Chain A
């Protein structure tokens, strides 16, 4: 069974940093592209970032470019999101997602971890 379990969320002050982790199991993690998507309270889904299977390529939404860094450890089956210079508008539930091996849609989602940026 595919499982994605996020951790690392919490309350952080504006300008602060946080590192999210996503532990993957039930599939060959190193074969799949992975993504982060966020959802502000009461709002819709917004794509944040993606990383390819061998870590050679990453892409970011304009809203987080230069502040967030996506990475992965294929030996430990773990995806990361390093978030720096956090702003109030980064407050959201962050989902770890597996991209389908067949195409670019999202076939498995984690349960999400809440990041709150507030003083």
Chain B
């Protein structure tokens, strides 16, 4: 099984900050990685697929990078609507999620 490890687990930041969340796979997944945003009581929402492709309708302040085993999600200027939990997911061998990163207000 492929394990996905995100860091940090919690991130405290202010509006306007540049924020980066990292995700590491236990073995190479090429670029088969997605990022999701989840707000309390809501379903996750797709942000990024194929490591760096922005889903339609997602603000351009979100970007993804990486390949192989190391990946990152960056929010260039954090907005009030971005405080949420973020999950990475590999989809090369079944489907596995990271444990999540909660972005909270500093």
Contacts and interface: CB of A to CB of B under 8 A. Distances in A.
Interface of A: 35, 37, 44-47, 50, 59, 61, 95, 100, 103-112
Interface of B: 32, 34, 36, 42-46, 49-50, 55, 87, 89, 91-92, 94-100
Contacts of A59: 94
Contact of A45 (B32, B49, B50, B87): B87
Contacts of A103: 32, 49-50, 91
B44 A109 contact: yes
Nearest to A107: B46
Nearest to B45: A109
A107 B92 CA distance: 16
Chain B residues touching A, majority SS: loop
B14 to A, nearest CB: 26
15 contacts: A44-B99, A45-B87, A45-B97, A45-B100, A46-B97, A103-B32, A103-B50, A104-B91, A104-B92, A105-B34, A106-B46, A106-B89, A107-B55, A109-B43, A112-B43
Contacts of A44: 87, 97-100
Listed residue (B45, B91, B99, B100) with the most chain A CB atoms within 10 angstroms of its CB: B91
B44 A45 contact: yes
A47 B97 contact: yes
A74 B36 CA distance: 28
Contacts of B50: 103, 105
Contacts of A111: 42-43
Nearest to A111: B43
A101 to B, nearest CB: 12
A50 to B, nearest CB: 8
Given A45-B89, A103-B91, A106-B95, 9 more contacts: A35-B95, A44-B87, A46-B97, A59-B94, A104-B32, A105-B34, A105-B49, A107-B55, A109-B44
B41 to A, nearest CB: 9
A47 B96 contact: yes
A105 B89 contact: yes
B32 to A, nearest CB: 7
